[in-house]
Amino acid sequence: MASWSATGSINGNYRLELNVWENWTSMDNYSSVHWEVILRATGNYSFSTIGSTIVVNVDGEVYNAYSQKSLSAGGAITIASGDKNVWHNADGTKAIYCSASYSQSSSASYTPGNMSCGGNMWLSNIARYANFTQHYVSARSINTVSIHWEADSSINAWQHSINGGGWQDCNGGNTYVISNLNTNTTYYIRTRIRRSDSGLWTESGNISATTYDIAKLSSTDNILILSNKLNYTYTNAAGAKVELGIFKTDGKTAIINYKEYKNSTGTISFTESEIDKIYKMMKNNDDFTVRLYIKSTQNGLSYLNYKDVKIKINRCFKTCISASCR
Protein backbone atom coordinates (compact mmCIF):
# COMPACT_ATOMS: atom_id res chain seq x y z
CA MET A 1 0.00 0.00 0.00
CA ALA A 2 1.18 3.51 -0.81
CA SER A 3 2.11 6.08 1.85
CA TRP A 4 3.21 9.71 1.66
CA SER A 5 4.23 12.59 3.95
CA ALA A 6 4.57 16.35 3.55
CA THR A 7 6.11 18.74 6.10
CA GLY A 8 6.35 22.48 6.70
CA SER A 9 8.25 24.35 9.44
CA ILE A 10 8.72 27.77 11.02
CA ASN A 11 11.91 28.86 12.77
CA GLY A 12 12.88 25.24 13.23
CA ASN A 13 10.82 25.05 16.46
CA TYR A 14 7.64 23.47 15.11
CA ARG A 15 6.82 21.26 12.16
CA LEU A 16 3.48 20.59 10.51
CA GLU A 17 3.19 17.08 9.06
CA LEU A 18 0.55 15.67 6.74
CA ASN A 19 0.70 11.87 6.54
CA VAL A 20 -1.46 9.96 4.04
CA TRP A 21 -1.61 6.22 3.42
CA GLU A 22 -3.82 3.64 1.80
CA ASN A 23 -5.74 1.32 4.10
CA TRP A 24 -6.68 -0.98 1.22
CA THR A 25 -7.63 -1.03 -2.46
CA SER A 26 -10.78 -2.45 -4.04
CA MET A 27 -11.17 -4.30 -7.33
CA ASP A 28 -14.09 -1.91 -7.83
CA ASN A 29 -11.29 0.60 -8.64
CA TYR A 30 -10.98 2.75 -5.53
CA SER A 31 -8.64 3.10 -2.55
CA SER A 32 -9.51 3.70 1.08
CA VAL A 33 -7.20 6.53 2.21
CA HIS A 34 -6.45 7.62 5.78
CA TRP A 35 -4.86 10.99 6.59
CA GLU A 36 -3.49 12.64 9.73
CA VAL A 37 -2.20 16.13 10.50
CA ILE A 38 0.47 16.22 13.20
CA LEU A 39 2.03 19.22 14.91
CA ARG A 40 5.50 18.49 16.24
CA ALA A 41 7.72 20.60 18.55
CA THR A 42 11.26 20.20 17.28
CA GLY A 43 12.94 22.60 19.76
CA ASN A 44 12.51 23.64 23.37
CA TYR A 45 9.34 25.60 22.86
CA SER A 46 5.93 24.50 24.10
CA PHE A 47 2.45 25.93 24.53
CA SER A 48 -0.78 25.12 26.30
CA THR A 49 -4.33 25.28 25.07
CA ILE A 50 -4.03 27.33 21.95
CA GLY A 51 -6.99 27.44 19.62
CA SER A 52 -6.02 26.52 16.05
CA THR A 53 -7.78 26.00 12.71
CA ILE A 54 -6.75 23.21 10.35
CA VAL A 55 -7.83 22.98 6.69
CA VAL A 56 -7.06 19.74 4.84
CA ASN A 57 -7.53 19.04 1.13
CA VAL A 58 -7.46 15.40 -0.03
CA ASP A 59 -8.10 14.93 -3.75
CA GLY A 60 -10.28 18.01 -3.92
CA GLU A 61 -12.33 17.30 -0.81
CA VAL A 62 -11.79 19.90 1.92
CA TYR A 63 -11.94 19.12 5.64
CA ASN A 64 -12.08 21.85 8.30
CA ALA A 65 -11.10 21.12 11.89
CA TYR A 66 -10.60 23.12 15.08
CA SER A 67 -8.11 22.06 17.73
CA GLN A 68 -7.47 23.35 21.24
CA LYS A 69 -4.60 21.33 22.60
CA SER A 70 -1.32 21.70 24.46
CA LEU A 71 2.10 20.70 23.15
CA SER A 72 5.18 20.06 25.25
CA ALA A 73 8.76 20.60 24.07
CA GLY A 74 9.95 17.74 21.86
CA GLY A 75 6.44 16.28 21.69
CA ALA A 76 3.87 15.78 18.95
CA ILE A 77 0.07 15.88 18.80
CA THR A 78 -2.48 14.80 16.16
CA ILE A 79 -4.64 17.80 15.44
CA ALA A 80 -6.87 16.35 12.67
CA SER A 81 -7.50 13.01 10.92
CA GLY A 82 -9.94 11.37 8.59
CA ASP A 83 -10.68 8.76 5.92
CA LYS A 84 -11.71 9.02 2.30
CA ASN A 85 -12.46 6.68 -0.61
CA VAL A 86 -10.61 7.78 -3.74
CA TRP A 87 -11.72 6.52 -7.15
CA HIS A 88 -8.96 5.62 -9.62
CA ASN A 89 -8.72 6.29 -13.34
CA ALA A 90 -10.10 3.73 -15.77
CA ASP A 91 -6.66 2.13 -16.15
CA GLY A 92 -6.28 1.69 -12.37
CA THR A 93 -3.79 4.54 -11.79
CA LYS A 94 -4.38 7.54 -9.57
CA ALA A 95 -2.42 10.55 -8.31
CA ILE A 96 -4.00 12.81 -5.70
CA TYR A 97 -3.08 16.26 -4.41
CA CYS A 98 -3.05 16.61 -0.62
CA SER A 99 -2.44 19.70 1.50
CA ALA A 100 -2.84 20.96 5.07
CA SER A 101 -2.75 24.45 6.54
CA TYR A 102 -2.52 25.47 10.20
CA SER A 103 -3.40 28.83 11.72
CA GLN A 104 -3.76 29.87 15.38
CA SER A 105 -5.45 32.50 17.43
CA SER A 106 -2.30 33.44 19.41
CA SER A 107 0.50 35.60 18.05
CA ALA A 108 2.97 34.80 20.85
CA SER A 109 6.51 34.16 19.65
CA TYR A 110 6.70 30.75 21.31
CA THR A 111 3.71 29.45 19.36
CA PRO A 112 3.84 27.78 15.91
CA GLY A 113 2.30 30.59 13.87
CA ASN A 114 0.80 29.79 10.49
CA MET A 115 2.10 26.79 8.53
CA SER A 116 1.18 24.73 5.47
CA CYS A 117 2.40 21.76 3.49
CA GLY A 118 1.24 19.74 0.49
CA GLY A 119 2.11 17.82 -2.62
CA ASN A 120 1.10 14.98 -4.95
CA MET A 121 0.78 11.33 -3.96
CA TRP A 122 0.57 8.31 -6.26
CA LEU A 123 -1.77 5.62 -5.01
CA SER A 124 -1.21 1.93 -5.72
CA ASN A 125 -2.14 0.81 -9.22
CA ILE A 126 -5.25 -1.34 -9.24
CA ALA A 127 -5.20 -4.17 -11.78
CA ARG A 128 -8.03 -3.53 -14.22
CA TYR A 129 -9.46 -6.52 -16.08
CA ALA A 130 -12.10 -6.54 -18.77
CA ASN A 131 -15.25 -8.56 -18.13
CA PHE A 132 -17.10 -10.66 -20.68
CA THR A 133 -20.68 -9.52 -21.16
CA GLN A 134 -21.38 -12.13 -23.88
CA HIS A 135 -19.60 -15.32 -24.92
CA TYR A 136 -21.40 -17.96 -26.96
CA VAL A 137 -21.35 -20.18 -30.05
CA SER A 138 -22.91 -18.11 -32.84
CA ALA A 139 -22.62 -20.56 -35.77
CA ARG A 140 -21.46 -24.06 -36.70
CA SER A 141 -20.73 -25.94 -39.88
CA ILE A 142 -19.21 -29.29 -40.85
CA ASN A 143 -15.70 -28.02 -40.14
CA THR A 144 -15.97 -24.60 -38.44
CA VAL A 145 -17.24 -23.04 -35.24
CA SER A 146 -17.95 -19.31 -34.79
CA ILE A 147 -17.67 -17.68 -31.36
CA HIS A 148 -19.14 -14.28 -30.49
CA TRP A 149 -17.98 -12.22 -27.51
CA GLU A 150 -18.59 -8.78 -26.02
CA ALA A 151 -16.74 -6.97 -23.20
CA ASP A 152 -17.35 -4.04 -20.86
CA SER A 153 -14.19 -2.14 -21.85
CA SER A 154 -11.89 -1.46 -24.79
CA ILE A 155 -10.03 -4.58 -26.02
CA ASN A 156 -6.92 -4.62 -28.21
CA ALA A 157 -6.25 -8.36 -28.54
CA TRP A 158 -8.18 -11.64 -28.30
CA GLN A 159 -7.18 -15.30 -28.54
CA HIS A 160 -8.76 -18.73 -28.28
CA SER A 161 -7.80 -22.12 -26.90
CA ILE A 162 -9.24 -25.48 -27.99
CA ASN A 163 -9.53 -28.44 -25.63
CA GLY A 164 -7.04 -26.97 -23.16
CA GLY A 165 -4.36 -26.31 -25.77
CA GLY A 166 -2.23 -23.22 -26.27
CA TRP A 167 -3.58 -19.78 -27.04
CA GLN A 168 -3.93 -18.81 -30.70
CA ASP A 169 -4.69 -15.42 -32.23
CA CYS A 170 -8.24 -15.02 -33.53
CA ASN A 171 -9.33 -13.77 -36.93
CA GLY A 172 -12.20 -11.33 -37.26
CA GLY A 173 -13.59 -8.96 -34.66
CA ASN A 174 -16.12 -9.74 -31.95
CA THR A 175 -17.04 -12.88 -33.88
CA TYR A 176 -14.18 -15.18 -34.80
CA VAL A 177 -14.16 -18.45 -36.75
CA ILE A 178 -12.16 -21.57 -35.90
CA SER A 179 -11.57 -23.52 -39.12
CA ASN A 180 -10.33 -26.92 -40.29
CA LEU A 181 -12.10 -28.82 -37.51
CA ASN A 182 -13.13 -32.46 -37.67
CA THR A 183 -16.72 -33.27 -38.57
CA ASN A 184 -19.24 -34.35 -35.93
CA THR A 185 -16.78 -33.60 -33.11
CA THR A 186 -17.26 -31.77 -29.81
CA TYR A 187 -14.72 -29.09 -28.90
CA TYR A 188 -14.25 -27.14 -25.67
CA ILE A 189 -13.30 -23.55 -26.41
CA ARG A 190 -12.04 -20.69 -24.25
CA THR A 191 -11.50 -17.07 -25.24
CA ARG A 192 -9.24 -14.53 -23.62
CA ILE A 193 -9.28 -10.76 -24.14
CA ARG A 194 -6.70 -8.09 -23.34
CA ARG A 195 -7.85 -4.79 -21.90
CA SER A 196 -6.41 -1.87 -23.87
CA ASP A 197 -5.41 0.46 -21.03
CA SER A 198 -4.02 -2.04 -18.52
CA GLY A 199 -2.75 -4.75 -20.87
CA LEU A 200 -4.23 -7.43 -18.59
CA TRP A 201 -5.85 -10.60 -19.92
CA THR A 202 -9.23 -12.00 -18.90
CA GLU A 203 -10.04 -15.65 -19.65
CA SER A 204 -13.51 -17.02 -20.25
CA GLY A 205 -14.78 -20.38 -19.10
CA ASN A 206 -15.17 -23.31 -21.49
CA ILE A 207 -18.04 -23.43 -23.93
CA SER A 208 -18.73 -26.59 -25.91
CA ALA A 209 -19.44 -26.69 -29.63
CA THR A 210 -20.07 -29.71 -31.84
CA THR A 211 -19.44 -29.54 -35.57
CA TYR A 212 -22.16 -30.92 -37.81
CA ASP A 213 -21.97 -34.36 -39.35
CA ILE A 214 -21.50 -34.69 -43.10
CA ALA A 215 -24.49 -35.38 -45.33
CA LYS A 216 -25.40 -39.07 -45.25
CA LEU A 217 -27.79 -41.36 -47.10
CA SER A 218 -30.52 -42.56 -44.78
CA SER A 219 -32.40 -44.76 -47.27
CA THR A 220 -32.23 -45.94 -50.88
CA ASP A 221 -33.98 -48.52 -53.06
CA ASN A 222 -32.76 -51.68 -54.67
CA ILE A 223 -33.28 -50.83 -58.30
CA LEU A 224 -35.31 -52.54 -60.95
CA ILE A 225 -34.34 -50.52 -64.00
CA LEU A 226 -37.79 -50.97 -65.48
CA SER A 227 -38.60 -47.61 -63.88
CA ASN A 228 -35.23 -46.04 -64.67
CA LYS A 229 -35.26 -44.37 -61.20
CA LEU A 230 -33.54 -44.74 -57.84
CA ASN A 231 -35.27 -43.35 -54.74
CA TYR A 232 -33.06 -41.75 -52.07
CA THR A 233 -33.28 -39.82 -48.79
CA TYR A 234 -30.37 -38.05 -47.12
CA THR A 235 -29.68 -36.01 -43.98
CA ASN A 236 -27.83 -32.69 -44.18
CA ALA A 237 -27.94 -30.85 -40.85
CA ALA A 238 -25.11 -28.48 -41.84
CA GLY A 239 -26.88 -27.26 -44.98
CA ALA A 240 -23.87 -28.20 -47.09
CA LYS A 241 -23.89 -28.46 -50.87
CA VAL A 242 -24.92 -32.05 -51.70
CA GLU A 243 -24.02 -33.95 -54.85
CA LEU A 244 -24.96 -37.54 -55.68
CA GLY A 245 -23.16 -39.89 -58.04
CA ILE A 246 -23.31 -43.58 -58.93
CA PHE A 247 -20.05 -45.45 -59.42
CA LYS A 248 -18.74 -48.96 -59.58
CA THR A 249 -17.71 -50.26 -56.17
CA ASP A 250 -14.13 -49.32 -56.94
CA GLY A 251 -15.26 -45.70 -56.49
CA LYS A 252 -13.50 -44.65 -59.69
CA THR A 253 -15.65 -45.68 -62.63
CA ALA A 254 -18.63 -43.34 -62.96
CA ILE A 255 -22.01 -44.56 -64.14
CA ILE A 256 -23.72 -41.27 -63.27
CA ASN A 257 -21.24 -38.54 -62.34
CA TYR A 258 -21.75 -36.15 -59.44
CA LYS A 259 -24.66 -33.74 -59.77
CA GLU A 260 -26.16 -31.41 -57.17
CA TYR A 261 -29.40 -32.55 -55.52
CA LYS A 262 -30.92 -29.86 -53.30
CA ASN A 263 -33.92 -31.88 -52.11
CA SER A 264 -33.17 -34.33 -49.32
CA THR A 265 -35.74 -36.77 -50.73
CA GLY A 266 -36.07 -37.54 -54.41
CA THR A 267 -35.16 -39.81 -57.29
CA ILE A 268 -32.19 -40.30 -59.57
CA SER A 269 -33.22 -41.00 -63.15
CA PHE A 270 -31.22 -43.15 -65.55
CA THR A 271 -30.89 -42.38 -69.21
CA GLU A 272 -30.96 -45.14 -71.82
CA SER A 273 -27.21 -44.78 -72.30
CA GLU A 274 -26.65 -45.17 -68.54
CA ILE A 275 -28.85 -48.27 -68.48
CA ASP A 276 -26.85 -49.65 -71.39
CA LYS A 277 -23.64 -48.96 -69.47
CA ILE A 278 -24.90 -50.90 -66.44
CA TYR A 279 -26.20 -53.67 -68.68
CA LYS A 280 -22.77 -54.10 -70.23
CA MET A 281 -21.08 -54.08 -66.81
CA MET A 282 -23.38 -56.89 -65.65
CA LYS A 283 -22.23 -59.21 -68.45
CA ASN A 284 -24.03 -62.49 -67.77
CA ASN A 285 -25.12 -61.69 -64.21
CA ASP A 286 -28.70 -61.01 -63.18
CA ASP A 287 -27.73 -58.38 -60.61
CA PHE A 288 -24.99 -55.89 -60.16
CA THR A 289 -23.82 -53.88 -57.11
CA VAL A 290 -23.10 -50.19 -57.56
CA ARG A 291 -22.08 -47.56 -55.05
CA LEU A 292 -24.23 -44.48 -54.50
CA TYR A 293 -21.95 -41.70 -53.27
CA ILE A 294 -23.11 -38.56 -51.48
CA LYS A 295 -20.61 -35.69 -51.48
CA SER A 296 -21.06 -32.76 -49.08
CA THR A 297 -19.05 -29.59 -49.61
CA GLN A 298 -18.72 -26.69 -47.20
CA ASN A 299 -16.07 -24.00 -46.69
CA GLY A 300 -14.09 -25.36 -49.63
CA LEU A 301 -13.77 -28.90 -48.22
CA SER A 302 -15.59 -32.01 -49.51
CA TYR A 303 -16.53 -35.22 -47.71
CA LEU A 304 -17.83 -38.54 -49.07
CA ASN A 305 -20.28 -41.07 -47.76
CA TYR A 306 -21.83 -43.95 -49.70
CA LYS A 307 -24.27 -46.80 -49.72
CA ASP A 308 -24.04 -49.94 -51.84
CA VAL A 309 -27.11 -50.67 -53.95
CA LYS A 310 -27.90 -53.90 -55.76
CA ILE A 311 -29.33 -53.45 -59.26
CA LYS A 312 -31.49 -56.12 -60.86
CA ILE A 313 -32.35 -56.06 -64.54
CA ASN A 314 -35.04 -58.02 -66.30
CA ARG A 315 -33.10 -58.93 -69.44
CA CYS A 316 -36.21 -59.92 -71.32
CA PHE A 317 -37.72 -56.51 -70.55
CA LYS A 318 -34.62 -54.77 -71.76
CA THR A 319 -34.77 -56.72 -75.00
CA CYS A 320 -38.43 -55.83 -75.41
CA ILE A 321 -37.71 -52.13 -74.88
CA SER A 322 -35.01 -52.22 -77.52
CA ALA A 323 -37.26 -54.02 -79.98
CA SER A 324 -40.14 -51.60 -79.49
CA CYS A 325 -37.91 -48.64 -80.20
CA ARG A 326 -37.10 -49.77 -83.69
pLDDT digits (tens, 9 = 90+) for 226-250: 556 888 999 999 999 999 999 999 8
104 lies in the same domain as 173? no
pLDDT over 60 at 261, yes or no: yes
From 169, 185, 210, the end of a domain falls on 210
Query: Is there a single domain that holds both residue 36 and residue 85?
Result: yes
Mean pLDDT of 251-261: 92
Specify if 87 maps to a domain. Answer: yes
Query: What is the distance between the alpha carbons of residues 298 and 300, in angstroms, rounded to a whole number?
Result: 5
Q: Is there a domain that residue 139 lies in?
A: yes
Give the least confident one: 145-154, 213-222, 223-232, 275-284: 223-232
pLDDT at 155 over 90: yes
Q: Please determine, for residue 5, whether its predicted confidence score (pLDDT) is greater than 60.
A: yes
137 and 109, same domain (yes or no): no
Shared domain for 98 and 50, answered yes or no, is: yes
Q: Is residue 24 assigned to a domain? A: yes
Do residues 56 and 155 both lie within one domain?
A: no
Helix (H) or strand (E) holding 57: strand 47-58
- Choosing from 99, 122, 145, the residue where a domain stops is 122
pLDDT for position 225: 56
Q: Considering only 53-67, 93-107, 214-228, which range has the smallest mean pLDDT?
A: 214-228
Task: For residue 265, give its domain range.
Answer: 216-324
Question: Is residue 127 one of the residues assigned to a domain?
Answer: no
Q: Are residues 99 and 10 in the same domain?
A: yes
Answer whether residue 254 is part of any domain. yes
Within a domain: 28? yes
Residues 254 and 186 reside in one and the same domain: no
CATH number for the domain spanning 84: value is 2.60.40.10
Confirm if 258 and 242 have CB atoms less than 8 A apart.
no
Q: What is the pTM assigned to this prediction? A: 0.70
Answer whether 55's CB lies under 8 Å from 100's CB.
yes
Q: DSSP readout, 275-290?
A: HHHHHHHHTT-SEEEE
Both 177 and 260 in one domain: the answer is no
Q: Are residues 73 and 43 in the same domain?
A: yes
235 and 183 share a domain? no
Q: What is the mean pLDDT of the chain?
A: 88
Same domain, 100 and 199: no
Looking at the fold, whether 204 and 221 belong to one and the same domain comes out as: no
Give the residue from 210, 229, 258 where a domain finishes: 210
β strands within 238-300, DSSP E: 241-248, 254-260, 265-269, 287-298
Classified as helix, coil or strand, 107 is coil
Number of domain units in the chain: 3
